[in-house]
Amino acid sequence: MENGGQEIPEDANEHCPGPQSESAGKSDSCEGCPNQEACATAPKGPDPDLVAIVERMATVKHKILVLSGKGGVGKSTFSAQLSFALAAMDFQVGLLDIDICGPSIPKMLGLEGQEIHQSNLGWSPVYVESNLGVMSIGFMLPNPDEAVIWRGPRKNGIIKQFLKDVYWGELDFLVVDAPPGTSDEHISIVQFLQATGIDGAIIVTTPQQVSLIDVRKEVSFCKKVGLPVLGVVENMSGLCQSLSEFKFLSVAETGEQKDMTEWVIAQMREKVPDMLNFFAFSEVFDSSAGGGAKMCTDMGVPFLGKVPLDPQLCKAAEEGRSCFDDIKCRVSAPAIKMIVDKLLSQVKVSRMEDGA
């Protein structure tokens, strides 16, 4: 809803003067409105920092948010591997971690202990490779175990500072790893970036309904704020692992466990050696309701694909390395690569050096 060019909250009173109006939160029509206090205390008029953000982002070709409705679905792992994949394709890539309270990107990119440096051009990202730079509040904490206990305005302030003060140079892609949910950080990043042109959001989920319920809210959030949904990724879509990497147990009625791995592997090697080349698959989460693909059909958004729960991918994330560097991630790396290819076919990609 709009009033004189101003975006009016959906739950506002009937004669809302508009959140940017001088009478916002103070007029008689504001009485009883759930937004009254926020409107009364919010700064009025255009934000001068937005001009600085637009100028800074002018050298960034594509901006992609990675979101999730629920924590623990592997959103940051996907953000990290998406960035590794794009960099491996010779794109210039930046990865911005705005998960203020839980910054895991430095760990997943192998950059723990690094610090931010300043130049006359602004804050310098920390580089994994010459074409992959990273910025995170994790680089600013004096102690990695330090809790970040900030209210919304301070979180919004650091996000704004990341956008206007970090000197990325020319980028083909800026991947923004957001915290789970639909809170202050999400509203801020969308508002700050919309004027600069934002491609849209990738939403990460797991297959079960308890995750999809929250992802539906995330899709609804994107639609309300005018953020295109580039697609949904179903992560941890079944455990998939080579039989040779499994641990085998015998379990007694008492619950006592005995490791039988060596015996089982020896039996397979002797009697059916080809079995050691097979992968075993098991559904960890219930997807009987159709999983992410069904949810995408219901809500009219693209489905980008599935990434299996691969212990080798988990290990790569723990060690801060790309799953594409070797052949260990034999099931997850091809799955992520297919998703990246599908994403690139949707985004009109042109490299910065092409001048497009």
The binding site for [4Fe-4S] cluster comprises 16, 30, 33, 39
The amino acid present at 336, given as its one-letter code, is I
CA angle 19, 23, 28 (to 5 degrees): 105
Q: d(Cα 64, Cα 304) in Å, to the nearest integer?
A: 14
User: Which phi and psi (to 5°) does residue 95 adopt?
Assistant: -120, 115
The secondary structure of 188-246 as a DSSP string is HHHHHHHTT---EEEEEE-SSHHHHHHHHHHHHHHHHTT--EEEEEE-S-SEEEEGGG-
Which residues lie below 8 Å from residue 203, measured CB to CB, with a gap of 6+?
Answer: 67, 68, 69, 215, 218, 219, 222, 229, 231, 232, 233, 301
Angle, nearest 10°, between helix axes 291-299 and 209-224? Answer: 30
Question: Which residues are annotated as part of the binding site for ATP?
Answer: 69-76
Q: d(Cα 85, Cα 76) in Å, to the nearest integer?
A: 14
CA angle 188, 93, 112 (to 5 degrees): 80
Structure letter (DSSP) for residue 8: P
Question: Which residues are annotated as part of the binding site?
Answer: 16, 30, 33, 39, 69-76
222-to-204, 323, 338 alpha-carbon distances in Å:
13, 29, 24
User: Which phi and psi (to 5°) does residue 205 adopt?
Assistant: -140, 170
